[in-house]
Amino acid sequence: MIRSGRFHLLLESGGRPVQHGWWHREEVARDEFRRWVGEYGSMPGARLTPTDEETAQLPATWPDQP
């Protein structure tokens, strides 16, 4: 897998990956996270998982429950 940034965002539907993106800046990744919630939040079984690849921390996940 080719990485083009530190912050990764994964969109899954029904447990399957649908889309992902990489960003270098956390602010941009957070903006994209909010945009994706608005754009894809009504998709059946949608789940958004952001990851900071350097710290392996998840700053937020949507929805909150698995």
What is the pTM assigned to this prediction?
A: 0.79
Helix (H) or strand (E) holding 17: strand 16-23
Domain range for residue 2? Answer: 1-66
Residue linked to tokens 């710290």? 55
Please give the tally of structural domains in the chain.
1
User: How confident is the model over 1-11, as pLDDT tens digits?
Assistant: 556 788 999 99
Token couple for 64: 């909150």
2-59 tens-digit pLDDT: 567 889 999 999 989 999 999 999 889 889 999 999 999 899 999 998 888 888 766 6
**CA–CA separation, 5 and 9 (whole Å):** 11
